[in-house]
Amino acid sequence: MRPGERPSLWLRREAGPTELRAPIAPAAARALIAAGIAVTVEDCPRRIFRTEEYAAAGCRIAGPGTWPDAPDDHYVIGLKEPEDDPLPLRHRHLFFGHAYNGQRGAGRLLRRFAEGGGSLLDLEHVTDAAGVRVAAFGHWAGYVGAALAVLHAGGLLDAPLRPMSLPALEAALRRPRERVATALVIGALGRG
């Protein structure tokens, strides 16, 4: 990107069939567009936000899975890694790549970037000036993760997962179970 240019963002659909989350909400997309940043959003019927909400926010809508054909100057944004195929990755990508700590599949993912000339801005490692992660999970992500672990350990986790309200989750956690879960909390600040 040349000095003075504004980035263009391409929000791709998530590859995982159960992934509903989106790293950019329609309201945030509207604010980005107001700041002069172009936002393209791939249609995805399972995303928590409807495609029509992005269109109403001023986003350009693209077909699902079309990000490989996005212009070279676009940042391709997602939460998790794109489809696991041999396609070389040529764009600048932002997502939780889990690629720099030796996680499973990291070598294959990084090879795709090397072959395509693209780059990975791994959200797992983006920090502010003080070195604090800017995309760390918050209180509710930890709460839900712990709650799901307790339900699973007690044999009470239904699959596939379905959305539920906080009162319904708390009621499920209060149900009697044969096995009682124990926990070990790691990370004094909850950001471990």
Q: Residues with catalytic annotation?
A: 80, 98
- For 94, phi then psi, to 5°, come to -120, 120
- In DSSP terms, 94 is beta-bridged to 77, 121
Cα dihedral sign for 140, 145, 150, 152? positive
Give the whole-angstrom CA distance, residue 52 versus residue 59: 9
Give the whole-angstrom CA distance, residue 102 versus residue 88: 20
Which of helix, strand or coil describes residue 87? coil
Question: At residue 44, what is the residue type?
Answer: C
Give the whole-angstrom CA distance, residue 87 versus residue 64: 16
8-state DSSP, 95 = E
Q: Token pair of 125, please?
A: 């490692």
Give the whole-angstrom CA distance, residue 173 versus residue 176: 8
